[in-house]
Amino acid sequence: MLDHYVVFQPHRGREEELSAALRDFAAGITGLTCVQDFTWGENTNASGLKHGYTHGCFARLTGEAALRGDYWNHPAHQKLLGRLDELCIDRFALDYRVSVAADER
C-alpha cells in the first residue's frame, strides 16, 4: 500500500474552483480498483492555513506502480493536473509506503 497526500495553496479567490475540481476528480476516479480510499477537504489546521494551504487530498493506493500507472494516467487525474497551475500558487505531495503493524500481518 502507498499513501499519497497532496496539499494545495490556491490563488486568492480560486478556493471554490479548487473545491469543485477536487470534487469532480473524486467522482471521476470512483471505481478505479487501485484506489483503496480517497478523501479530500478544506484544511482546518492553523499551521497549514498560516502558510496558505487551504485544501488537501488523500489517496490510499495499492502501491507505487498504481500511483505511476493507472492512477496517474487516469483521465480524471490528468484533467485535475491540467488545471492546478491556474488554480494554485503552490502544491506538494507526500507519498509513503504503509507499514503494517505486526498484529495485522
Encode pLDDT of 11-48 as tens digits.
999 999 999 999 999 999 999 999 999 999 999 999 99
Helices (H), the chain: 15-28, 46-50, 64-66, 72-73, 75-87
* Contact in structure between 4 and 17 (CB atoms under 8 Å): no
0.95 exceeded by pTM: no
Contact 91, 22 (CB under 8 A): no
Q: Which residues have a Cβ under 8 Å from the Cβ of 49 and sit 6 or more positions away? A: 43
Q: Measured in whole angstroms, how far is the alpha carbon of residue 8 from the centre of its chain?
A: 9
Mean pLDDT of the chain: 94
The DSSP letter of residue 63 is -
